[in-house]
Structures are given as C-alpha cells and as structure tokens.
Chains A and B, each alone.
Chain A
C-alpha cells in the first residue's frame, strides 16, 4: 500500500460543468476525510466518513457538493455547476478510528475553474 491516492491530480474545467474526484484511502483505514485548501490557507474540513456512513458535513459544503463512499473503501467528491470560487486544492485523508488525530493525506486534486 503506497498510501492515500487521489485522481485526477489536476482538473481544469469551465464554470458550470460538473467534476468528480476520487480518493483511495489506506486499505485498513475506516475513516476518510475531505478537506479543501485555498491559497494561503490551511486545509478546511468538508466532510468525513466512517466506513460507508457520511457522519458530518461542514457548512462549507453547499448543495452543489456531494460525497460518497459506497462500499466503505474509495470515496468520490462531486461538484455540480462549478463556480470560480470552487478553485482550490481538494485533499483527502484517511485514518484509523482510534487514531483519528493521525490523518494520512493524499497528494490532492487541484481544481481550476475558468
């Protein structure tokens, strides 16, 4: 296992288009987190899953955002009708439930909305 992977690494899209990102966590990790990071800021929590259950969503996550983790393994984050303000680095992290402070981050997907 080479760690958390994310695909794609970069995505350029036009405003109004839908995009979907994928995250593959470390295999034995039952917790999966999505964060968003904009320039000059630290990662901001978006949502998290324990196994397949989405247990919390940030108020940052508007109705245009949806995340799934259908079998408790990989997760997808979809953004509908993208806006220029959605341009950011989207980070995925995973952890064991009993060591949730130690989150292993993926390389991120950089989204640019033109």
Chain B
C-alpha cells in the first residue's frame, strides 16, 4: 500500500515533442506528490509538486496532471529539449512527515 508505481521505465522523445510519465499510488493518505529530476552523479532536484486539492499544476514547460479518483498523477514535459535528458522520479508523502516514497524512475532521452 506504500508503493508508488511509475511508468515507463525508459522513454525516448524527439526534440520538441511531449514527454509523459505516469505514476499510480494506493495509499489514500498521500497528500503531496512531487516530481524530482536527477542527472548522473547528482542528487535529485525538485521539479514540480502538487497537492490533491487541484487537478493540474503548470510551471513553464512542466505540468502535473492529478486524478484523485483514479489515484494517478503524471508529468508532462512540453517542447522537450536534449537538456531534459535525465532520470525522473515521482514520489508521494502524507501529512507533514516528509517521508517520501519514490517511484521506480524513468530515464528520459531527448534526441536532437
């Protein structure tokens, strides 16, 4: 029940295309859903996050769509760029515990 399932495991997108990564969760107590971006040799960096009181959040080229009833959320990267090539992790936490449960990760490659 604590799992967060992420797909796909890897993704190849052409420059300018849309990258879509999906996550699903079981624990209805989760109330915070961040996405992290990780480059090789670096720690994860927060990209964007959403709480269940909204269905969508957009920051620049990055959008989170959230479906509370389906217990799913997704990351959309518009106009994908080669510099977006990285590993993306969704995560979830509940309350103010700060304890993050991470998805399995998606390796994104954006081809020039």
* Pair from one complex: no
- B contact residues vs A (CB 8 Å cutoff): none
- A contact residues vs B (CB 8 Å cutoff): none
